[in-house]
Chains A and B, each alone.
Chain A
Amino acid sequence: EPEVTQTPSHQVTQMGQEVILRCVPISNHLYFYWYRQILGQKVEFLVSFYNNEISEKSEIFDDQFSVERPDGSNFTLKIRSTKLEDSAMYFCASSLGGGAGNTIYFGEGSWLTVV
């Protein structure tokens, strides 16, 4: 069964450092997403991406964050200057279609620890 894959599974970084989280969405999917889950809290939407541009973003997704699809298979989330509060599990997801009713498939997550 096709799946979304993410790397790294766990990364520890110093506060102020840049981090890039990588994802390979399901191959025929067109919509890509990043969510995050701070330990013990709810899953929060960060950004959606379609046709090489951001289609929607949350208030969490400020100038510190950026996304990119550098080639035909990868989808990345960059956090420019990490803060302690960025420590969370980051989930990449993809879907065939966009909008309500389309099923989103999630990767296993990248656990980011900022120290």
Chain B
Amino acid sequence: GDSVTQMEGPVTLSEEAFLTINCTYTATGYPSLFWYVQYPGEGLQLLLKATKADDKGSNKGFEATYRKETTSFHLEKGSVQVSDSAVYFCALPPAGTYKYIFGTGTRLKVLA
């Protein structure tokens, strides 16, 4: 079945460092891909999405490119801030279903 694999956390970075959080997937067909973020004590918020191969989703300085050839959707940001400290989830909706499958989440901690 479809699955999402995220890099293990936690990831600890200094402010202004470059961020990459890896996400790879296994899916039937070419589903849309999503990144959600969960700030401490809050719910899941959509961060960005891409709906087809080679699409780049972007929001708040974060970017992710839908790579069909490597089945990846890595999240990147050029310069992280303390306020980016959160848990980041990669997700996809398997074809023919109403649900999303989430990765295990990657906790990011940014130090001032």
Chain A interface (Cβ within 8 Å of chain B)? 6, 31, 33, 35, 41-45, 48, 50, 55-56, 58, 91, 93, 98-109
Contact = CB atoms under 8 A, between A and B. Distances in A.
Interface string B29-59: 0011010100000111110010100000000
17 contacts: A6-B43, A42-B102, A43-B44, A44-B102, A48-B99, A55-B98, A56-B97, A56-B98, A56-B99, A99-B96, A99-B98, A101-B93, A102-B93, A106-B36, A107-B43, A109-B42, A109-B43
A6 B36 CA distance: 18
Nearest to B101: A45
Interface residues of B, number: 26
A113 B49 CA distance: 33
A108 B32 CA distance: 23
The 7 closest A-B pairs by CB, nearest first: A108-B43, A48-B98, A45-B99, A106-B44, A43-B102, A100-B93, A101-B32
